[in-house]
């Protein structure tokens, strides 16, 4: 495998929100994710965006608004215990976080270091949305009993190399035993990362290899949006046909202005003012297609836990059949097939 890792060409996809909710798109590298100003968590105050109380909001303080939206106020992501492995390819995860640690089944560093512990916060935030535990504390994830693989492919600054992503994808495909086709292979790969240009055949070939191994790949569309769904902003690996490309919505089901658009968008999920776990055992509120993506990855894990078919095409059909069509009827360049829903 090639190991030319001088250039930093992939990065996390989240935007910084300052004070009054003005989202500033940060293409590619975000220098300092700690500048995020969260304010009160939307999960605890139903008035975060517009002052409206929504019919899908529930009274459970552990479910952030995005999860309430996907479940329509009827959260059941803690009702299954089937072993499903979700590989989170990101900046690592806070391995000691009390809301995550019980669900972390494997942690590995694909960047050449020796620790998948998250010094950035981004990967920890993604992990909480997918699978924070149900303990009546902090937050709870889309599938509260998921088995998380923390695969660090990005550096502490939030960027990394495509070669390390390929390494991370290979690790996910094989699982801890190093062998493809065994029970510990990842079932889902969640990638809240990418870049605006196509990295080329080596990355795509690895993506295809995982797809053909039955692994569902989910990726953030990107945050280069111009607020106009009719214009196209590309994001890779999301734009590959084998990858589910995720756009971001707010509490009103409106597309986030930063959300990339184009024919390649598959689904939309909550991605604005999302409260979740953060580094140092903490919590924070972040925005981005990075935050939308784990809602989809977690829902896919729950679908598999409920007995769904471990096949990316079957997963896609199920997501599509249950999605809430928004915007122009049918598939559109902003929402894809619509807002994901847990039926
Ligand atoms: Ca919790
Ligand atoms: Ca394996
Ligand atoms: Ca656009
Ligand atoms: Ca539509």
CB-based burial label for 42 (10 Å; 0-12, 13-18, 19+): buried
Q: What percent of the chain stands above pLDDT 70? A: 86
- 263 and 332 Cβ atoms separated by less than 8 Å: no
Tell me the mean pLDDT in the region 143-154: 98
- Active-site pick, 97, 122, 125, 295: 122
Whose atoms come closest to the Cα of 338: which ligand?
4
Expressed in angstroms and rounded, the spacing between residue 319 Cα and the centre of ligand 3 is 23
Predicted local distance difference test score (pLDDT) of residue 276: 98
- 327 and 339 Cβ atoms separated by less than 8 Å: no
- Active-site pick, 290, 295, 297, 332: 290
The residues placing their C-beta within 5 Å of ligand 2, an ion, are 174-175, 177, 179, 182, 184-185
Expressed in angstroms and rounded, the spacing between residue 133 Cα and the centre of ligand 1 is 5
CATH topology of domain 66-322: Rossmann fold (3.40.50)
- Lowest-confidence segment of 20-29, 48-57, 65-74, 94-103 by average pLDDT: 20-29
Predicted local distance difference test score (pLDDT) of residue 56: 97
pLDDT of 229 > 60? The answer is yes
Predicted local distance difference test score (pLDDT) of residue 268: 98
Predicted local distance difference test score (pLDDT) of residue 183: 98
Tell me the pLDDT band of 10, cut-offs 50, 70 and 90: low
What's the angle, vertex CA 270, arms to CA 196 and CA 135, rounded to 5? 125
Whose atoms come closest to the Cα of 184: which ligand?
2
Predicted local distance difference test score (pLDDT) of residue 51: 67
**What is the side-by-side strand order in the sheet with 159-160?**
159-160, 10-12, 193-194
Tell me the pLDDT band of 11, cut-offs 50, 70 and 90: confident
With H, G, I as helix, E, B as strand and everything else as coil, classify residue 277: strand
The string of pLDDT tens digits covering residues 286-336 is 999 999 999 999 999 999 999 999 999 999 999 999 999 999 999 999 999
The string of pLDDT tens digits covering residues 16-28 is 433 222 222 333 3
Tell me the mean pLDDT in the region 143-157: 97
Expressed in angstroms and rounded, the spacing between residue 258 Cα and the centre of ligand 1 is 29
pLDDT of 46 > 90? The answer is no
Tell me the mean pLDDT in the region 181-187: 98
Predicted local distance difference test score (pLDDT) of residue 27: 33
Domain edges within the chain:
66-322
Pair of tokens at residue 277: 């776990």
Tell me the mean pLDDT in the region 195-224: 97
Whose atoms come closest to the Cα of 332: which ligand?
4
Expressed in angstroms and rounded, the spacing between residue 118 Cα and the centre of ligand 3 is 32
Expressed in angstroms and rounded, the spacing between residue 246 Cα and the centre of ligand 3 is 14
pTM of the predicted model, to two decimals? 0.89
Tell me the pLDDT band of 122, cut-offs 50, 70 and 90: very high
Q: What is the DSSP string of 41-78?
A: -TTT-TTSSSSPPPTT--S-TTS-HHHHHHHTT---TT
Closest CA to 264 of 188, 192, 191, 332: 332
Alpha-helical (H) ranges within 7-121 are 65-71
Predicted local distance difference test score (pLDDT) of residue 52: 80
Predicted local distance difference test score (pLDDT) of residue 39: 39
Q: At what angle do helices 289-305 and 312-322 cross, to 10 degrees?
A: 110
The residues placing their C-beta within 5 Å of ligand 3, an ion, are 226, 228, 231, 261
- Active-site pick, 11, 16, 43, 90: 90
Beta bridge partners of residue 166, listed in sequence order: none
Compute the distance between CA of residue 148 and CA of residue 308 in angstroms, rounded to an integer: 19
Whose atoms come closest to the Cα of 331: which ligand?
4
Tell me the mean pLDDT in the region 251-272: 97
Predicted local distance difference test score (pLDDT) of residue 319: 98
pLDDT of 2 > 80? The answer is no
The string of pLDDT tens digits covering residues 76-115 is 999 999 999 999 999 999 999 999 999 999 999 999 999 9
The residues placing their C-beta within 5 Å of ligand 4, an ion, are 325, 327, 332
Annotated catalytic residue 290: yes
Residue reference for tokens 């009274």:
59
Expressed in angstroms and rounded, the spacing between residue 224 Cα and the centre of ligand 4 is 21
């Amino acid at each position: 495998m090639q190991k030319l890792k001088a250039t930093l060409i992939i990065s996390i996809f989240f935007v910084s929100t300052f004070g009054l909710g003005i989202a500033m798109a940060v293409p590619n590298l975000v220098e300092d994710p700690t500048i995020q100003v969260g304010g009160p968590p939307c999960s605890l105050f139903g008035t975060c965006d517009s002052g409206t109380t929504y019919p899908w909001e529930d009274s459970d303080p552990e479910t952030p608004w995005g999860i309430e939206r996907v479940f329509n106020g009827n959260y059941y992501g803690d009702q299954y215990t089937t072993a499903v492995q979700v590989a989170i390819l990101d900046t690592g995860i806070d391995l000691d976080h009390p809301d995550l640690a019980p669900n972390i089944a494997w942690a590995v560093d694909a960047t050449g270091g020796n620790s998948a512990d998250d010094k950035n916060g981004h990967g920890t935030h993604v992990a909480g949305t997918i699978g924070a535990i149900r303990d009546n504390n902090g937050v709870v994830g889309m599938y509260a009993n998921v088995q998380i693989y923390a695969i660090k492919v990005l550096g502490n600054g939030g960027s990394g190399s495509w070669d390390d992503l390929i390494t991370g994808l290979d690790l996910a495909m094989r699982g801890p035993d190093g062998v493809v086709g065994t029970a510990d292979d990842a079932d889902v790969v969640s990638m809240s990362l990418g870049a605006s240009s196509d990295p080329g055949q080596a990355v795509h070939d690895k993506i295809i290899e995982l797809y053909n191994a039955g692994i569902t790949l989910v990726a953030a569309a990107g945050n280069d949006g111009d607020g106009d769904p009719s214009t196209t902003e590309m994001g890779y690996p999301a734009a590959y046909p084998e990858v589910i490309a995720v756009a971001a919505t707010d509490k009103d089901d409106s597309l986030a202005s930063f959300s990339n658009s184009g024919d390649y968008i598959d689904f939309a999920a909550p991605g604005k003012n999302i409260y979740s776990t953060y580094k140092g055992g903490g919590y924070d509120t972040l925005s981005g297609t990075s935050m939308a993506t784990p809602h989809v990855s977690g829902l896919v894990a729950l679908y598999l836990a409920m007995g769904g078919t471990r096949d990316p095409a079957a997963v896609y059909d199920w997501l599509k059949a249950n999605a809430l069509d928004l915007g122009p009827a049918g598939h559109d360049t902003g929402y894809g097939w619509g807002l994901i829903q847990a039926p």
